[in-house]
Amino acid sequence: MTIDKTALVTGANRGLGRSAAVALAARGARVVVTHRGDAAGAEKTAEQVRAAGGTAAVLRLDISDVSSFAPFTAELGGQLERWGASRLDILVNNAGVGVFGPLETVTTDDFDTVMGTNVRGTFFLIQSLAPLLAQGGHIINVSTSLTRHTSPATSVYSASKAAVEALGRTLAAELGPRGIRVNSIAPGPTATDFNGGAMRDDAGMRRVLAGQTALGRVGQPEEIGDAIAALAAEGLHWATAQRVEVSGGALL
């Protein structure tokens, strides 16, 4: 990656978002860290970004609240100006929610929460930030390996991420004339606090999941962050409308 890029990572107060922010900073990016309400977590990420040699700013953003996107975009523009930058180079759409349950237990509120956040929020945030994206910029949407294989009680979450992948492919065509790439990265089972930290803390679940991967273990958040930074690198500037799975070979 060329030094001095500007990046925004949504939901960067923990987990994969934090790892992506730190990995981008280690490769020369100035990173805007967003959070929905966990300011302390976001500040911890900012500290790690600075420790990695980067520059960080923390902004609040709730991607389920589309009405907040216009003022957020203005705030982001102001932050870029303070950095002496006119454009955003990298947008990582990591923030999202997961509500899990079998068919008979999913409520309309559950469905609307997942789709409203993961699909509606992601789409309209891209719409709002597109004018700030630099010529040759890059959008990376965080998906899941569950769009390729299946797991019980994940239907709505998986469907929301499949929709995000489809949005990404179409937006790659729409934004391509500006040199903007749009790709999806699809993590497999990873030891974060997502879904209550089950894949990090439940030893039995980790053993089962490890037995289902070619590499024989659950992934670490830093490995996903490194993959996101690698996908954003200049060496992959010809790749767009792609889905890159980083799952250790889950359920092949």
By annotation, the residues acting in catalysis are 157
Cα 199 to Cα 218: distance, rounded to the nearest angstrom: 8
Contact criterion met (CB below 8 Å) for 232 and 140: yes
| Cα-based torsion angle of the residue sequence 172, 177, 180, 182 in order, rounded to the nearest 10 degrees | 0
Contact criterion met (CB below 8 Å) for 189 and 213: yes
Neighbours of 142 (CB within 10 A): 25
**176 contact partners, CB below 8 Å, separation of at least 6:** 240
